[in-house]
A and B are shown apart, each in its own frame.
Chain A
Amino acid sequence: MGCLGNSKTEDQRNEEKAQREANKKIEKQLQKDKQIYRATHRLLLLGAGESGKSTIVKQMRILHVNGFNAEEKKQKIHDIKNNIKEAIETIVAAMRTLTPPCKIACPANQSRIEYVLNLVSQKDFEFTPEFYDHTKLLWQDDGVRACWERSNEYQLIDCAQYFLDRIDVVRQHDYTPTDQDLLRYKVNFHMFDVGGQRDERRKWIQCFNDVTAIIFVVASSSYNMVIREDNQTNRLQEALNLFKNIWNNRWLRTISVILFLNKQDLLAEKVLAGKSKIEDYFPEFARYTTPDDGKTITGHLYGIDHLFSLTPGEDPRVIRAKYFIRDEFLRISTASGDGRHYCYPHFTCAVDTENIRRVFNDCRDIIQRMHLRQYELL
């Protein structure tokens, strides 16, 4: 490997030294970039034409603009607290799954570890003083710190250390995030819209076999429209076909799909106007009854039922229509998957930014759960 003994000249030795240093410099940068890369969630954005996909992308971008007013600062408090929770959950879970695993330094903290591990499966979590006490003491444990120092071996949010150091500040009732705090709280999503690619998917789709999730956008209101390409195929049916294709694609078998049932406002309008009946295009609708508590096929999955809180005063005809469309997709996703990936449906309306924000936060939770599930199964 270049060992020529004493016959190397001074120049040669210097050049080799320079090369090794250049190599080290590049490796350092690559290592840094790798950490950022691992901490970024890559999402593939898919959807038939005119599903409202591009509007959703625009809304997502608005959320990242750092113009935080007092209102938004208050909202961010909840997110920051969630970051602390997510951080300690991730570190604690990683302690037992790393090779070699990390051991807790102080035996008294073992019960605290159990407490944190139980947090993951809790549905209605509240930030109690108990939580902060446990978390703070765990953060001071040398074993937990050692695991945090190996965070490049698993995925941990960037701001973990920053907020864990400031638990005492964050837990105060009158806590208001500083600008510094808000800058730290940065969700790294990289959404990729494949609008520019053709329908012949089988080669380029292989690139996405390791993304965090696929965001699939459907225009729910297009049940009575046909696609531009042939002026024949029903648009909603086309979306169902595309969804089935993606769901059963051999390269995407472990990728979960976040389903945005978009254009809910237009759907409600159409249903209430009564001119265009869903059963004319989807005869099964005539026999469909709304599940009375909103829990159907996915009721048992990660407490998904709580995501579908009914908008007060919603017309039962609209409820029936939107749940029918949702269940058409869930029928496809529950038919196969073997528990390797799941479909997370949301009712959205791209024009309404609040809705997008709520859904966006749910996505973060879901993605975090996916990662924790990975570690628990390892």
Chain B
Amino acid sequence: MRSPLIPEMATQEVQLNETLAHLKSESESLKSKLEEERAKLHDVELHQVAEKVEGLGQFVMKTRRTLKGHGNKVLCMDWCKDKRRIVSSSQDGKVIVWDAFTTNKEHAVTMPCTWVMACAYAPSGCAVACGGLDNKCSVYPLSLDKNENLAAKKKSVAMHTNYLSACSFTNSDMQILTSSGDGTCALWDVESGQLLQSFHGHAADVLCLDLAPSETGNTFVSGGCDKKANVWDMRSGQCIQSFETHESDINSVRYYPSGDAFASGSDDATCRLYDLRADREVAIYSKESIIFGVSSVDFSLSGRLLFGGYNDYTINVWDVLKGTRVSILFGHENRVSTLRVSPDGTAFSTGSWDHTLRIWA
């Protein structure tokens, strides 16, 4: 379709195209060189080392509670540090705080924009954050006075140019970390709503994030539609490590309890383990029979088990060291969209497109 009128422009164009092609091939060769270097340090597979480890015993876990009340797909949930309360959000705009043990609902907020995609509990247990297609992250203080209208006290904290895919408080109630469909992550001050740091590097929607468990809390990992998992330094805003081995969107990332590794779950139907010190992927958790994407992953308290919520309505439990599947759990009647292990590791909770949440133990 293009027909430049001036001959000089034609030559210029040809030159530009050549430079572009040259740069592309240079970038590809650099990538393969990096892989070569990484491979040189790779001496043994994880599961080989794990052969010496004792196998796991019989695995019995089932649904202990079913939390009903949401009117549409549950997309996200989070545990409170008190190990008992849960906040969940669904696509009908409802954000509900539950007592997971008694199944009593303690608070319910209706979001003005019904398409809520993410929610998080504040470390103090006194507030919840949520957001979605409104491109914002809002914080609601949880009042002890049951008659108070929670919606009135809402604080708008984050502003992105695209949907909010995930949010998480840092070590305190004062700061919130968000990821968005606009390809960036951002750190915000809750009180003022000010942007403290932004993280650019993903080439497509960022779908998930997780903060490193260390007390100083200086890094976090994010996963996106560009199949990359990036590790970021929160103070400088720099991407310090990047991993690109998945074959499709990364829907969930979660740090290993020690903070030296993290797991990811993807639409390519696999979960993978990445070691930060070895700077490489060290394990893939997959089976030929599993063809549906993973929506959400989390580790058990010790890190020996990896729980994955799948789009085929099941939960697969993996032995992290040996790489084998320990158990498959049924119960939900539609996609499992979110999965979190409780802070004391005694149970885990799942949310699903079937409008319910389940507590498993």
Least Cβ–Cβ distance between A119 and chain B, in angstroms: 31
Q: Evaluate contact between B162 and A198: CB separation under 8 angstroms.
A: yes
Decide: A196 near B110, CB < 8 A? Known: A22-B104, A30-B94, A207-B91: no
Using CB atoms, name the residue of chain B closest to A20. Answer: B104
Q: Evaluate contact between B102 and A1: CB separation under 8 angstroms.
A: yes
Instruction: Assess whether A178 is interfacial by the CB under 8 Å rule.
Output: no
Residue in B1, B181, B204 whose Cβ sees the most chain A Cβ within 10 Å: B181
Using CB atoms, name the residue of chain B closest to A30. Answer: B69
A318-342 contacts to B (CB < 8 Å) = none
Bits for A14-57, please: 1 = Cβ < 8 Å to B, else 0: 00100110110111011001100110001000000000000000
Q: Evaluate contact between A203 and B110: CB separation under 8 angstroms.
A: no
Q: Would you call the interface of chain B mostly helix, strand, loop, or mixed? A: loop
Bits for A186-215, please: 1 = Cβ < 8 Å to B, else 0: 000010101011101011100100100000
Q: Evaluate contact between B115 and A207: CB separation under 8 angstroms.
A: yes
Q: Evaluate contact between A29 and B108: CB separation under 8 angstroms.
A: yes
Q: Residues of B contacting A194 with CB < 8 Å?
A: 133
- B205's partner among A23, A25, A200 (CB-CB below 8 A) is A200
Instruction: Assess whether B236 is interfacial by the CB under 8 Å rule.
Output: no
Least Cβ–Cβ distance between A154 and chain B, in angstroms: 15
- A33's partner among B71, B132, B163, B165 (CB-CB below 8 A) is B71
Bits for B204-247, please: 1 = Cβ < 8 Å to A, else 0: 11010000000000000000010000000000000000000000
Bits for B132-146, please: 1 = Cβ < 8 Å to A, else 0: 110100000000001
Decide: A26 near B249, CB < 8 A? Known: A33-B94, A197-B163, A207-B91: no
Question: How far, in whole Å, are A37 and B249 apart by their CA atoms in the complex?
Answer: 31
Least Cβ–Cβ distance between B193 and chain A, in angstroms: 19
- A203's partner among B73, B96, B105, B165 (CB-CB below 8 A) is B165
- B181's partner among A2, A20, A22, A203 (CB-CB below 8 A) is A203
Question: How far, in whole Å, are A22 and B135 apart by their CA atoms in the complex?
Answer: 32
Count chain B residues whose beta carbon lies closer than 8 angstroms to a beta carbon of A. 37
B99-138 contacts to A (CB < 8 Å) = 99, 101-102, 104-108, 110, 114-115, 117, 132-133, 135
- B105's partner among A16, A26, A207, A232 (CB-CB below 8 A) is A26
Q: Residues of B contacting A202 with CB < 8 Å?
A: 225, 249
Instruction: Assess whether B354 is interfacial by the CB under 8 Å rule.
Output: no
Least Cβ–Cβ distance between A32 and chain B, in angstroms: 11
Instruction: Assess whether B182 is interfacial by the CB under 8 Å rule.
Output: yes
Q: Residues of A contacting B146 with CB < 8 Å?
A: 22, 25
Q: Residues of A contacting B105 with CB < 8 Å?
A: 22-23, 26-27, 30
Decide: A30 near B108, CB < 8 A? Known: A2-B102, A203-B225, A232-B1: yes
- A27's partner among B69, B101, B114 (CB-CB below 8 A) is B69
Q: Evaluate contact between B106 and A22: CB separation under 8 angstroms.
A: yes
Instruction: Assess whether B92 is interfacial by the CB under 8 Å rule.
Output: yes
Bits for B148-167, please: 1 = Cβ < 8 Å to A, else 0: 00000000000001110100
Least Cβ–Cβ distance between B222 and chain A, in angstroms: 14
Q: Evaluate contact between A197 and B162: CB separation under 8 angstroms.
A: yes
Bits for B37-66, please: 1 = Cβ < 8 Å to A, else 0: 000000000000000000000000000000
- A204's partner among B1, B107, B163 (CB-CB below 8 A) is B163
Question: How far, in whole Å, are A202 and B135 apart by their CA atoms in the complex?
Answer: 16
Least Cβ–Cβ distance between A54 and chain B, in angstroms: 17
- A26's partner among B107, B181, B205 (CB-CB below 8 A) is B107
Instruction: Assess whether B72 is interfacial by the CB under 8 Å rule.
Output: yes
Q: Evaluate contact between B117 and A197: CB separation under 8 angstroms.
A: no
Q: Evaluate contact between A204 and B181: CB separation under 8 angstroms.
A: yes
Q: Evaluate contact between B133 and A37: CB separation under 8 angstroms.
A: no
Q: A27-B69, A196-B162, A232-B1 are in contact. List 16 more A-B contacts (CB 8 A).
A: A19-B104, A22-B104, A23-B105, A26-B96, A26-B105, A26-B107, A27-B105, A33-B110, A42-B114, A194-B133, A197-B163, A198-B181, A207-B91, A207-B115, A207-B132, A232-B2
Q: State the B residues within 8 Å of A (CB).
A: 1-2, 69, 71-73, 91-92, 94, 96, 99, 101-102, 104-108, 110, 114-115, 117, 132-133, 135, 146, 161-163, 165, 181-182, 204-205, 207, 225, 249
| 16 residue pairs bridging A and B, Cβ less than 8 Å apart | A19-B99, A19-B102, A19-B106, A20-B104, A22-B146, A23-B106, A26-B96, A26-B107, A27-B105, A30-B71, A30-B96, A30-B108, A33-B94, A196-B135, A198-B182, A204-B163
* In the A-B complex, the 3 residue pairs with the closest CB atoms: A23-B104, A34-B71, A26-B105
Q: State the A residues within 8 Å of B (CB).
A: 1-2, 16, 19-20, 22-23, 25-27, 29-30, 33-34, 37-38, 42, 190, 192, 194, 196-198, 200, 202-204, 207, 210, 232
